[in-house]
């Protein structure tokens, strides 16, 4: 009888202890690790097992000794050792063990933002990439051609990377971001091309990309993008030179010092649209979606010229006479006449498509205006 009582008592005690252990584990799993608002960045490297991970978390102050032991047992009991994903994690010290393991099992790693700005050049993008924290740098010292070969592309890099905010993790490289940006560009451009207006002048997605890049650099207001596109496409249809400063500036590269001169408008670069007819050979920047759509859906007006009003907007004109009047109103009166130096260094009228004829004034070079080419000689 006594032995039976002893066995029964032992069973009861065992059940009580088991219940207490279960309660303690449940309390541990669902309770905050610490009463703290601080966070810790923890980098779980590939190949690190559960026990070493727990040891590292203890060393970084996330877990105390008891919590570390309990977490090891819980991981083994649940068979979660192989579900842990490498990466960089932002861990609140107030997190519960259950949510901590869930976070690492899901690979909820830290993501850093990187934005390709509309209108930026490939050089701008590379410079921005080189300054990003936590990103593996693989492109430094490589030529543009080497970079494009790595990407599997045989085109100019300009315009090939879609302006957008991309998120990267600490195990990603600069080439990974460029690949994503290019794939997004191709997807966006191809979809937009399928819904293009049928009467546009551009004949391929690449030509549309070139024109979109010019629109991007010329436009400050979204409502004017289609109007600017229309001006350029009508000039192309009439075999008129585009005469757009951003193309000239791109062609000058580092020789552009902040203001265009009339001598620079005569330099024979592939991107000088005052000298060469048609589109430049490549895009000159990374156009955004609004400029791509504008290139594929130009307005239906008759404007062939535009000039900046000085407030971010433009005055559009259908005739050269009206354009000259607009230039006089919005630009010429605001441009001081420089002293004659023997060199044609006068600044170009900024943001002006279709150069007007100046009336020569004392102290300036006597230019001859060619109305057919709509450029200056002297």
Rounded to an integer, what distance in angstroms lies between the CA atom of residue 289 and that of residue 300?
A: 20
CB-based burial label for 104 (10 Å; 0-12, 13-18, 19+): buried
The answer as to whether 16 is a domain residue is: no
Residue ranges in the chain modelled with pLDDT below 70: 1-26, 333-378
The answer as to whether 85 is a domain residue is: yes
Residues 222 and 367 in one domain: yes
Rounded to an integer, what distance in angstroms lies between the CA atom of residue 87 and that of residue 68?
A: 20
The answer as to whether 230 is a domain residue is: yes
The answer as to whether 4 is a domain residue is: no
The answer as to whether 182 is a domain residue is: yes
Which of 192, 212, 228 is a domain's end point?
Answer: 192
pLDDT at position 23 is: 54
Rounded to an integer, what distance in angstroms lies between the CA atom of residue 279 and that of residue 132?
A: 34
Long-range contact set of residues 219-227: C-beta below 8 Å, sequence gap at least 24: 219/291, 219/294, 220/312, 220/313, 221/312, 221/313, 222/290, 224/313, 224/314, 225/290, 225/291, 225/293, 225/294, 226/294, 226/297, 226/298, 226/299, 227/299, 227/301, 227/303, 227/306, 227/314, 227/316
Residues 236 and 294 in one domain: yes
Residues 353 and 204 in one domain: yes
Residues 78 and 161 in one domain: no
Nearest-5° Cα angle at 268, 239 to 124: 95
Residues 50 and 83 in one domain: yes
pLDDT digits (tens, 9 = 90+) for 82-140: 899 999 999 999 999 999 999 999 999 999 999 999 999 999 999 999 999 999 999 99
Which of 86, 106, 126 is a domain's end point?
Answer: 106
CATH number of 45's domain: 3.30.1490.480
Domain that holds residue 239: 197-377
Residues 32 and 146 in one domain: no
Residues 221 and 171 in one domain: no
pLDDT at position 55 is: 95
Residue 344 tokens, joined: 């044609």
pLDDT at position 16 is: 52
The answer as to whether 6 is a domain residue is: no
Residues 185 and 278 in one domain: no
Residues 71 and 220 in one domain: no
Residues 184 and 230 in one domain: no
**Predicted TM-score of the model (pTM):** 0.80
Which of 50, 77, 106 is a domain's end point?
Answer: 106
In the numeric block, the tokens 């050089």 are attached to 123
pLDDT at position 220 is: 87
Residues 235 and 143 in one domain: no
pLDDT at position 147 is: 96
pLDDT at position 8 is: 52
Residue 201 tokens, joined: 């002048």
- Residues 249/259, Cβ–Cβ less than 8 Å: no
pLDDT at position 19 is: 53
pLDDT at position 331 is: 76
The answer as to whether 298 is a domain residue is: yes
Number of domains in the chain: 3
The answer as to whether 35 is a domain residue is: yes
Residues 185 and 309 in one domain: no
């Amino acid at each position: 009888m006594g032995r039976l009582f002893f066995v029964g008592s032992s069973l009861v005690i065992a059940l009580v202890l088991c219940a207490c252990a279960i309660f303690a584990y449940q309390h541990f799993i669902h309770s905050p690790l610490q009463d703290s608002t601080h966070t810790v960045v923890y980098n779980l490297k590939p190949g690190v097992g559960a026990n070493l991970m727990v040891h590292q978390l203890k060393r970084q102050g996330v877990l105390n000794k008891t919590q570390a032991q309990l977490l090891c047992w819980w991981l083994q009991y649940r068979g979660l050792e192989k579900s842990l994903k490498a990466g960089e994690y932002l861990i609140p010290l107030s997190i519960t063990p259950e949510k901590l393991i869930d976070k690492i099992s899901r690979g909820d790693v830290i993501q850093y933002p990187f934005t390709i700005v509309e209108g930026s050049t490939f050089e701008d993008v590379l410079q921005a990439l080189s300054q990003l924290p936590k990103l593996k740098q693989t492109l430094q010292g490589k030529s543009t051609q080497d970079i494009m070969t790595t990407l599997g592309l045989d085109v100019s890099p300009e315009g090939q990377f879609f302006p957008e905010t991309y998120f990267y993790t600490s195990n990603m490289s600069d080439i990974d971001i460029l690949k994503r940006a290019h794939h997004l560009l191709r997807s966006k451009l191809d979809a937009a091309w399928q819904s293009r207006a049928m009467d546009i002048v551009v004949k391929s997605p690449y030509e549309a990309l070139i024109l979109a890049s010019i629109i991007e650099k010329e436009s400050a207001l979204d409502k004017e993008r289609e109007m600017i596109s229309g001006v350029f496409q009508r000039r192309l249809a009439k075999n008129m030179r585009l005469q757009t400063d951003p193309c000239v500036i791109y062609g000058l590269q580092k020789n552009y010092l902040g203001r265009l001169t009339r001598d620079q408008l005569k330099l024979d670069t592939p991107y000088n649209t005052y000298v060469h007819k048609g589109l430049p050979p490549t895009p000159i920047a990374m156009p955004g979606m609004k400029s791509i759509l504008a290139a594929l859906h130009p307005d239906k007006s008759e404007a062939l010229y535009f000039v900046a009003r000085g407030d971010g907007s433009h005055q559009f004109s259908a005739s050269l006479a009206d354009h000259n009047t607009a230039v006089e109103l919005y630009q010429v009166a605001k441009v001081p006449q420089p002293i004659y130096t023997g060199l044609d260094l006068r600044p170009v009228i900024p943001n002006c498509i279709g150069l007007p004829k100046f009336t020569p004034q004392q102290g300036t070079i006597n230019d001859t205006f060619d109305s057919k080419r709509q450029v200056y000689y002297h």
